[in-house]
Chain A
Amino acid sequence: MTHPSDTGTAPVLALEDVSKSFGAVRALRNVSLELYAGEVHALAGENGAGKSTLIKTLAGVHRPDAGRVLLAGEPVVFHGPGDARDAGIAVIYQEPTLFPDLSIAENIFMGRQPKRALGRIDHKATHAATLALMKRLGVELDPDRPASGLSIADQQIVEIAKALSFDARVLIMDEPTAALTGSEVARLFGVVRTLRDQGAAVLFISHRLEEIFQICRRVTTLRDGAWIASEPLDGMTEDDLVRRMVGRDLDELYPKQDVTPGDVALSVRRLTREGVFTDISFDVRRGEIVGLAGLVGAGRTEVARAVFGVDRWDAGEVEVDGKQLTSGAPSTAMAAGLALVPEDRRAQGLVMDMSIERNIGLTGLRTTVRAGLMDRGAERSRSLDWAVKLQVKYARIADTVSTLSGGNQQKVVLAKWLATGPRVLIVDEPTRGIDVGTKAEVHRLLSQLAADGVAVLMISSDLPEILGMADRVLVMHEGRLTAEIPRSEATEETVMAAATGRAAA
């Protein structure tokens, strides 16, 4: 296969010297990009580098302040997402954009349903087409179930199915794999390869660099909204790529410090929530990082939610430092020193319309108080401290979090919970959507916290992360704990075996 750009054909879709600002923030500065038919092109950059903004410009969501969008060599102006769609561009946005009240099938085909006579919708054909898509992706989702209540991962799958259903000539994917585990990712890549071979152009964003190397041919790097390079991936190493993105060499990605675990800090006994998980028992000791692995939908998130108290449990006990927690009471859990960095940052982690300062301040309402009134100075300095510590990239601390890039939003969530000085920290997908540089930083932080005596329970779908960081790995399968694997024995094989229910441990 020769590289498309060598053949002299015009790129299917291109950006030429595009700039875009949000107020004072210059999200894109004279960026150019060319997408050719039959190639998978990676877009790399730190959090806030402007990747999503670039994609939204291609998709007609944003109008560029300067520069042009070229479709098959011709300049075009997209007046809205509909225009881009009609031009054959399918987009998976970073945050799922589903209609919670509608069925999965309707979500996928909204606006483009197969029709019968007189323009009526052919519900049967829609159903069948959805089933076919699910099969192609190798997942089992009922086309008729409503989208509400789907896990983030399943939502992402539906988004992918939606994009595939277009048979588009350009497929743009903004971190489609952030919530997926290895098997789904492999499936997705299989489908993407097929599409590529059929002549589609694909633009792919991921903070998991190995994925970029796995599937992409060329990469465009952005830094602080500026174009750095567009080049073939052949012959590049991960370190090269990181250097382009970050502008310096990277620290070690998994800086796990060795600690001797102390007393039991979190003890979960026979916890059951009917229909969700059954009979979950485990301990987390001071200084320990315990990984919780499993396939999507295994129930890890649900366990975390119940332990923290946002959901009730039906049976069992949870103790923090020997203190029993009550079912369904996050405030008592917090008082006992428990913190939960939730999975869904937009819905659960952040109040999107509030400022960065106040979001971080939300967990400190009891501490930043003087004489019963808010102590704004204390609130601000607490928030500033943590925003700086986690290197959140923002214009002003009083800006609303919704203006931050995805990765920076995640950092705010972390800041918000670390600021409580927890004794037991549960993190659910803590580095989802976080760039490699920051990821190393978060890992270093978790490791440091553990060394300082915090008990950490880390849920992650990123298996290397689990293997790299955890002292012990717990594995869940369909609502039950199926294995407990010490660090020395934890490998991809042993964990996956337990996660898929094939464990013979």
Chain B
Amino acid sequence: MTVTTPHETTVAGVPKSSGTRLADRVFKMRELAILVVFLVMIAVTEAGNSQFLSEQGIKDLLLNATILVLVATGQSLVVITRNVDLSVGSTLGITAFAAGTYLQGGGNPVLAIVFAILLGIGCGLVNGLLVSLGQVPALVVTLGTLYIIRGADSIWVGSRQITAADLPGGFVDFGSGGISAVPWLALIALAVLVVVAYYLKQFGSGRELYALGSNPEAARLAGIPVRKRILAAYTVCGGLAGLAGAMYLARFGNVDSSTGNGYELTVVSAVVVGGVVFTGGSGSVYGAALGALLLTSINSVLPALGVSSVWVLAINGVLLLLAIAVDRVVAVRVATALKKKSALRKGTAATSGPAASLPQQDNSPSDPSGAEKGNTHA
């Protein structure tokens, strides 16, 4: 069998072409798009109300976002593995109350936070064990644990509540204090975010989360410890929900049995708006954090602009739809542009080959420029 080595000449150099960089940019752009939407929104609000970006205003914006950022970061880890944790709201509620109870009895604030995280980890472990060892659909299981944890919380807490008066003053001040406009809580959330993002990008086990979300069967065949990774993702998610619970306590000073009720939908919205795909394998925690920032800011922007609260919910929903639609449209546009670009390249290559046998080819539109050609072959 005679074999000729193909296309060495025509396609050489293609891989290093602009395709890569463009593709790279597409990924960055997803987060960029949200950032732009966010900045525009802030700018418009500031224009309409100069108080908005006062020191207090910025502080409020950051404080509002921190708790959601934390939970959304954890949730992203789980969603990346093609799972979901709907019980985060319940976990947040029960950990906040537990930390509060401990502080009420005169506990140490640092220990209270550790305690909340540990309890969150416990909840995460339960979810993780059920999902990974039981190999059952995450949606059903975590909807189940959402109810179970919430119910247990209500039974335990009853009608008790913890108010700021019950907490050490230092702890409550920590919840609203900070370095000028930057609250302590925001700094903690930022630290967590950066660490998680770095881990996901730079460590083998982090990449494996993406791999097993992208194709679980292939992950198993590649020898990735699937169950261990999923368990880890849920555990971190639970731990972060616990940390968020402690911060909720510090921030609002005020928890009862309904704390965190319905929070899962907000978290899922933030993650989705942030471009983390529900079928797993793609998205970044920075995106999720931006999504969280965007969502909480909408809730500050509308009142600040004096929009009647009657309108807030509807506007919220429409903005959410807009955000995901714009994100999608941009992604599709860029993908098309990319394709066109590679088409031009292909066309160039084709005409650079010998003339073909079919008559129609003579009328093919001439390719744009020699420069383009030079590029591809460089």
- A residues lining the B interface (CB < 8 Å): 59, 61, 80-86, 91, 93, 97-102, 106, 110-111, 113, 115, 119-121, 134, 138, 140-146, 182-183, 185-186, 210, 270, 274-276, 278-279, 281, 295, 477-484, 492-493, 496-505
Contacts and interface: CB of A to CB of B under 8 A. Distances in A.
A478 B210 contact: no
Contacts of A59: 221
B224 A275 contact: no
A101 B281 contact: yes
B24 A482 contact: no
A496 B214 CA distance: 37
B354 A142 contact: no
A97 B262 CA distance: 38
Given A101-B281, A501-B10, A142 B5 contact: no
Interface string B197-228: 00001111001101101110111111111000
Interface stretch (B14-22, B69-77, B114-122, B151-159): B14-22
B282 A120 contact: no
B4 A101 contact: no
A191 to B, nearest CB: 14
A111 B204 contact: yes
B334 to A, nearest CB: 13
B346 interface: yes
Contact of A85 (B24, B217, B223): B223
Contact of A144 (B7, B23, B208, B210): B23
Contacts of B202: 120-121
A111 B223 contact: yes
Interface of B: 1-7, 10-12, 14-17, 19-20, 23-24, 201-204, 207-208, 210-211, 213-215, 217-225, 280-282, 339-343, 346-347, 349-350, 353-354, 356-358, 360-361, 364
Contacts of A115: 204
Contacts of A138: 5
A501 B340 contact: no
Contacts of A98: 215, 218
A115 B218 CA distance: 22
Contacts of A484: 357-358
Contacts of B15: 134, 140-143
A239 to B, nearest CB: 19
A479 B211 CA distance: 32
For the complex of A and B, the 5 pairs showing the least CB-CB separation, nearest first, are A82-B223, A275-B343, A97-B218, A101-B281, A501-B353
A113 B204 contact: yes
B81 to A, nearest CB: 12
B356 A99 contact: no
B6 A500 contact: yes
A502 B350 contact: no
B204 A121 contact: yes
A182 B3 contact: yes
A370 B353 CA distance: 57
Contacts of A101: 210, 213-214, 280-282
A121 B11 CA distance: 30
Contact of B356 (A85, A111, A210, A482): A482
A462 B341 CA distance: 31
Contacts of A82: 223-225
A99 B7 contact: no
A142 B2 CA distance: 28
A500 B4 contact: yes
A140 B11 contact: yes
Nearest to A481: B358
B346 A279 contact: no
7 contacts: A82-B224, A93-B221, A101-B281, A110-B219, A111-B208, A182-B3, A500-B6
Given A97-B222, A492-B2, A501-B10, A278 B347 contact: yes
Given A59-B221, A144-B24, A480-B358, 20 more contacts: A81-B220, A82-B223, A97-B217, A98-B215, A99-B210, A99-B218, A99-B219, A110-B219, A113-B207, A121-B202, A121-B207, A142-B20, A145-B23, A146-B23, A185-B3, A276-B339, A481-B356, A481-B361, A498-B357, A501-B10
A119 B211 CA distance: 18
Contact of B340 (A102, A274, A496, A497): A274
Contacts of A85: 222-223
A95 B347 CA distance: 32
B207 A503 contact: no
B339 A274 contact: yes
Nearest to A112: B204
Contacts of B213: 101
B349 A478 contact: yes
Nearest to B347: A278
A185 B5 CA distance: 11
Nearest to B351: A480
B221 to A, nearest CB: 5
A138 B339 CA distance: 24
A61 B221 contact: yes
A111 B347 contact: no
A401 B1 CA distance: 36
Contacts of A295: 6-7
Nearest to A463: B1
B268 to A, nearest CB: 20
Contacts of B354: 501-504
A100 B16 CA distance: 20
A494 to B, nearest CB: 11
B357 A483 contact: yes
Contacts of B215: 97-100
B340 A97 contact: no
B214 A281 contact: no
A82 B11 CA distance: 37
A130 B207 CA distance: 17
Contacts of A477: 350, 353, 356
Contacts of A143: 15
Nearest to A464: B1
B281 A100 contact: yes
A240 to B, nearest CB: 21
A493 B4 CA distance: 9
Contacts of A121: 201-204, 207
A427 to B, nearest CB: 23
B20 A145 contact: yes
A479 B224 contact: no
Most chain A beta-carbon neighbours within 10 Å: one of B1, B11, B217, B281: B1
Contacts of B341: 275
Given A61-B221, A97-B222, A496-B2, A142 B358 contact: no
B78 to A, nearest CB: 16
A182 B1 CA distance: 8
Contacts of B353: 477-478, 482, 501-502
Contacts of B347: 278, 479
B19 A142 contact: yes
A119 B204 contact: yes
